Structure 1
Amino acid sequence: MTILDHGKEQSIIAILHNKDWRANQQQRLLSDYRMDVVLGIKLNIPGKIKTNEEIQQIFTAGVKEIQRICRVADLPLVFWKQYLRRLTGPECFMVIAENVVLVKRQMIQFEEQFALGRLFDVDVLGQSVTNQLSRTDLGLPPRKCYVCGRPAKQCARNQTHSIDDLKSAIDQYYHEYFGAQS
């Protein structure tokens, strides 16, 4: 039994509708904050259960860490809104008055250095880029799989790991982080 084994299952239709909702939120923010950088923050959670108390705990810890990074790096946070209790998984949107490349580099550091960072998906969007900025756009290696450390897209495409392996890895990240916090 893992932390991802309880909660309300979501249909693929609900998940796809949420993807559209997220894209609309991001586009609205890009339109409202034309000179700034928009962050779309969510978790990479496998399976049909996308939220429960533990998932919300992981998400809240990550959002707090991103806010801390913004303060320390002097990245002016001009807007943020968190949707913690969405059935399709918690989400947060932030707007930062800074250069998109600098913000992307900070979010890559978050994903790589924060203990739970690999579980997060942080889209970094700005008017100066046509799509979201990727690691390879910056000459950096691709995101690593949180199970084996190989390129995550390769593992996902090849379905290298079972859903149980993915859930077990997330469960381990959770217990290592929150057990250490006690």
Structure 2
Amino acid sequence: MKDILQDREERYNTILNLINRYQLPVVCGKINYPGNHKNTVEALKAFEVLRKLLSFRYTEDSVFTEVLSGADGKSLLMVVQLTSLEAKKIAIDIESNHPLGRVFDIDVYKEDGTSIGRGEVGLESRRCFLCGEDARVCMRVKNHSLEEVLDGANRLIRKYCF
């Protein structure tokens, strides 16, 4: 777990450095994959789908792209010449409409280094892909075991990728 937290901190510092360098929003795409093993075959397959999709959707507006790998899995960072709200609307469209959108985690960081929440664009929190409740509440109260969440995520990914 320590390695995952360190990886997240390093990724955020990279995002801040990109914002400082370009003075533009940064899109960060990764797979929302449960547990301590973030580099499974399933997670890597799903990331490849996400990477291609983000590259396609933001290609005309991207000025910098980098793939990071670490204990928290792979992530794609893209500096985009869009407003942060425009970039977030694209991200939400992907998360809401793609068959793997439930495991995609696409954050958009504003020029001040903060990320845009779904509430800032008038949407409610993401729903749990197992029961439909607020995902954050489900995680906090542990409505589902790690095994249930892993099985659900892997089923979704295998259905699309295999």
CA 1:88–1:135: 2 relative to 1, 3 Å: closer
Distance 1:51 1:175 in 2: 15
Q: Secondary structure at the match of 1:122?
A: strand
Deviations 1:147-182 (A, max 9, x none): 122211111111111111101111111121024xxx
- In the TM superposition, residue 86 of structure 1 has moved relative to its aligned partner by 2.5
Within the candidate set 57, 61, 86, 1:69 is matched to 57
Query: Is 2:40 the partner of 1:52?
Result: yes
User: How far apart are residue 130 of structure 1 and its match?
Assistant: 5.8
Match of 2:87 in 1: 103
CA–CA separation in structure 1 for the residues paired with 2:21 and 2:132: 38
% of aligned pairs identical? 27
CA contact (8 A) 2:19 2:113 kept: no
Query: Which has the greater radius of gyration?
Result: 1
The yes-or-no answer on 1:42 pairing with 2:26 is: no
1:47 is paired with a residue whose SS is coil
Looking at structure 2, the residues matched to 167 and 151 of structure 1 have their Cα atoms a distance apart, in angstroms, of 18
Query: CA RMSD of the aligned region, Å?
Result: 1.5
Aligned twin of 1:4: none
Unaligned runs of at least 5 residues, structure 1: 1-11
1:117 corresponds in structure 2 to 101
Q: CA deviation at 1:122?
A: 1.4
Alignment equivalent of 2:2, drawn from 7, 13, 32: 13
Pairs within 5 Å for 1:81-92: 81-83=66-68, 85-92=69-76
Tell me the number of residue pairs that the alignment of Structure 1 and Structure 2 aligns: 162
Structure 1 position 106, deviation (Å): 0.7
Shift of 1:69: 2.1
**Structure 2 counterpart of 1:24:** 13
Q: Which residue of 1 aligns with 2:118?
A: 135
Match of 2:132 in 1: 149
**Cα distance change on mapping 1:153 and 1:58 into 2, 3 Å:** same
Structure 2 gap segments, 5+ residues each: none
Q: Which of 135, 143, 156 lines up with 1:160 in the alignment?
A: 143
Tell me, in whole angstroms, the C-alpha distance in 1 between the residues paired with 2:148 and 2:161. 20
SS in 2 for 1:94: strand
Distance change (3 Å), C-alpha of 1:26 and 1:130: closer
Q: In structure 2, what is the equivalent of residue 171 of structure 1?
A: 154
Cross-structure match for 1:7: none
Deviation of 1:41 (Å)? 1.8
AA aligned opposite 1:52: T
SS at match of 1:41: strand
Partners of 2:39 and 2:161 in 1: CA distance: 17
Residue deviations 1:36-91 (CA, integer Å, cap 9, x gap): 210122211111211033321110101111222225xxx511111112x4233111
